[in-house]
Amino acid sequence: MSKSIETNGLFMENMYRPIYEIQSSYAWAGASLFTAGSWVYHGVSGHDVSMVAVSVIAATAGMSVKRLKEALPQIRRQIKLVYNYQYLIESSALWDLSKTQRDKAFFGRGFEWTITEANRAYQLVGKRPEHAKGFLPWAVRRALKKVEADTEKLEGRPWIQGCGDEQDLWLDASLFWSHSFYTGLPGAGKTTMLTLNSVGALYRGNSVLVLDPKNDPNWKNRLRAEAKRLGVPFYYFNIAEPSQSVRIDPLVNFTVTTEIASRLANVLEKGSGSSEGFRSYAWDSFYVTAEALRFIGKRPSIKMVADYMLNRKSELALAALSKIMTMHYGPDWYANMATQIAEEGRGNLLQGLIMRYQQVLIPDDKGEDAVSSFIGFLTHDQSHQSKMLATTKPMLTQLTAAPLDKMLSPDPNDTDDERPIIDIKKFIDTGGVLYIATDSSGNPAISAAVSKLIMEDTCAAAASRYNYEGGKGVRVSVFGDEIHSALSDGLINLAAMGRGAGFELHLSTQGVPDLIDKAGDAVASRVLSLTANWFCLRARDDITRERFAALLPEYPIKSKQWQLSSNTDSTSKLHNYSGSVGERIMEADKPAYPLSLMSELPKLQYVARLANGKTYQCRIPILL
C-alpha cells in the first residue's frame, strides 16, 4: 500500500471510511447460513441436491472468509486510529535483548515517518477519526472496552501513532554520540524517556551521570536497581538528604588556576553591561585567591576560596608573604627580621611585609605574580570591593553553609565523616552511576549553582581525557533534566568537544523558550546546533514547534477535490439541463509533520529527528 502512495501519483489512501469488506463478509456469511438453514428445514434429500447445497454453502462461506481477511488490515488500522495503550516492558526482558545487541539502542516502539505516514496524517488532520469507532465490528469494540481508559489517560490523538505500522525500534547506539535534546510539556514523558535511555546506556557499559533537579524516585530507583543487577556502583548525591549522600569536590580536577575561577564565576548569573562588570570582578577575585592558596601549598576548595576571599584576606596575605620571605631570607627570617619589619609598618607586621615586598623584593625581581595580585586585592578600596562582590557573597555563603560545606568542600582527612568522596574524573574512568539530585523545588538558585559546578568539573574531566589520553576510556553518558538551569560555558564546551572524549549528552527541558529565557537566543541556537538528535514530546509553544519543524524535509502531500455543477436555461424546455461531476487529485509540498500534531501528541509518545537524517514517530515504554 505504501509503495502505491509513493510511486503512483493517482493513488490516494482512504483512512477514514466504513469497512465495506466486513459488510460484504457479513452478507456472504448470511447467505451461507441461509442456504444451510433452508437445506435442513426443507429436508430435501438426494445426492445431486446435497452436492449443490454443500457447494453453495462452501462457496458463500469461503467468500465470507475471504472478505473478512481483506477487512482485517482496515480493522487493525482503524483500531489504531481510535485506541491507545500504555507500553510496558520488564527491565529484565530489555536486559536480555540488550545483551544480544550491544551496539544497538532501544528507541521504543514506532516507525520511520515517511511520505506515506505524512499523507495519512494530513488526510486525518481536522477530522475526527474517533468516529471510526462506529465502523468497527461490535465484537471488536466490546473486546477493546478495557483500553478505553488508557486512551483517555494518555490524552492527545491516538491516530497519530496509528498512521504507521509500529514495531520495536533498535537503532545504532552511535546515534547518541552526536548528543540528544528532549523537549516536552510537564507530564508528557520526558523523565520516562530519560530513564529508558539512561538504563540503555548502563546496559552498554557506559558510565552514567545524572543531573536531576526534581529527584524523581522512579528514575533514581530504576538506575539503582539496574546498577545492582550489573554489579556496578551507584553513587547518590542529594542536597536535601546529606546523610545519605556522597561528597563531591567540583574543584578537584583542574590544570590551571583560571579553571577554578571560571567554574566559580559561571555559577553567577550572566548578564550584560554593568552586571558583566560585577561578574568579571568576581572572576578576578576567585583567581587571585586561588592562586595565593596554591602558592602557599593549599588545594583550593569552594569553602576555602570563599573563606579566605571574604573573611581571611589578611591571614592569606601574611602566609603568602611569609613564604616568599622564607624563599629569599631563609627559614629564620622571622626571628631575625620580624621586629624591624613590623616597625617599618608602624607596628603592623603585615603592613611592614607589604612595604618590604613592594619596595625591596619587586625591584630586585624577586616578586611572585600570585603574591602581587593578592596584595592588590587586599589593598583595594574596601567599600568598592564590597559593592562589586555584593551579588557574589550571598551565593558563596549558601554554597559553604551546612550541609553543603562538607558536601561540596570535603576534607579527606576528616575521619569522622565516613561518606565517600567522589572524584568525577575517577568515576567516569571506572564506571557506574552517579545520581545527583539538586532539589530545585527547595532552592532553585543553589540547585542551578550545584548543577553548573558539576557540569564544569565534568567538562574538565572530558578535556583531560581528550588532551592527555587520546579520548580513550569508558564511554560516558550525561543526562540533565531541566537543563536550562545548568546552562554554562562548561556545558556548551562539553557539547562541542565531548564526542571526541567519549562523552554523549542527553539534555532535557520543557521547550526552547526556557533556554532563551535563561541564556538568550544565541546560546539556545547553539545548544540546538550541538545536539543532532531532537526528541520532541508534546509541545504547545510556537518557538519549539517551529524550530523542530525547520529540521524536517517537505514531502509531496496529496489532496482530493470534488466538483459538482449543474446548469439550466429558463428560456429552454424544462428537460434541457446539463450537469457534471469531477474529481481532481492535487499534490503540494508541505512540512513532513504538521505543526498542530506536536501539541496533540499523547503522553509517552514523541516525534524525533535523528542524526541519521531520518524522522521517527515512537511510543515510549515504561520499565517495570
Place of cell 469461503: 62
pLDDT of residue 47: 54
pLDDT of residue 190: 94
Going by pLDDT thresholds of 50, 70 and 90, the confidence category of residue 1 is very low
Decide if 102 contacts 204 (C-beta within 8 A).
Answer: yes
pLDDT of residue 558: 76
pLDDT of residue 41: 64
Average pLDDT of span 276-298 = 92
Average pLDDT of span 340-344 = 88
Decide if 563 contacts 580 (C-beta within 8 A).
Answer: yes
Could you tell me which residue, 76 or 482, shows the higher pLDDT?
A: 482
- Most confidently modeled of 21-30, 330-339, 598-607? 598-607
Question: pLDDT tens digits for 293-330?
Answer: 999 999 999 999 999 999 999 999 999 999 999 999 89
pLDDT of residue 273: 46
Contacts of 211 (CB under 8 A, 6+ apart): 436, 438, 451, 454, 455, 478, 479, 480, 481, 483, 486
pLDDT of residue 66: 79
pLDDT of residue 272: 47
Question: pLDDT tens digits for 217-271?
Answer: 999 999 999 999 999 999 999 988 888 999 999 998 888 999 999 989 888 876 5
Question: pLDDT tens digits for 61-73?
Answer: 788 787 778 777 7
pLDDT of residue 606: 96
User: Residue 436 is inside which H or E element, if any?
Assistant: strand 433-437
Could you tell me which residue, 560 or 113, shows the higher pLDDT?
A: 113
Q: Is 238 helix (H, G, I), strand (E, B) or coil?
A: strand
Going by pLDDT thresholds of 50, 70 and 90, the confidence category of residue 441 is confident
Question: pLDDT tens digits for 137-194?
Answer: 676 777 777 778 888 888 888 889 988 899 999 999 999 999 999 999 999 999 999 9
Triad 81, 197, 485: Cα angle to 5°: 100
Decide if 109 contacts 169 (C-beta within 8 A).
Answer: yes
Decide if 194 contacts 621 (C-beta within 8 A).
Answer: no
Q: What is the distance between the alpha carbons of residues 193 and 199, in angstroms, rounded to a whole number?
A: 10
Task: Find, among 398, 436, 50, the residue nearest to 237 by Cα.
Answer: 436
pLDDT of residue 57: 76
- Backbone phi, psi, residue 368, to 5°: -130, 135
Q: Is 356 helix (H, G, I), strand (E, B) or coil?
A: helix
pLDDT of residue 23: 75
Quote the DSSP letter at residue 600: T
Residue 38 has pLDDT above 50, yes or no: yes
Residue 498 half-sphere exposure toward CB, CA atoms < 13 A? 31
CA distances in angstroms from 74 to 62, 193, 360, listed in the order given: 20, 31, 95
Question: pLDDT tens digits for 462-499?
Answer: 988 888 888 888 899 999 998 888 888 888 989 998 89
Could you tell me which residue, 42 or 113, shows the higher pLDDT?
A: 113
Distance of CA 521 to the CA centre of its chain: 19
Question: pLDDT tens digits for 375-430?
Answer: 999 999 889 998 998 888 988 998 888 888 899 999 888 888 889 999 999 999 88
Residue 621 has pLDDT above 90, yes or no: yes
User: Residue 501 is inside which H or E element, if any?
Assistant: none
CA distances in angstroms from 34 to 31, 69, 331, listed in the order given: 5, 22, 118
pLDDT of residue 76: 78
Q: What is the distance between the alpha carbons of residues 117 and 466, in angstroms, rounded to a whole number?
A: 43
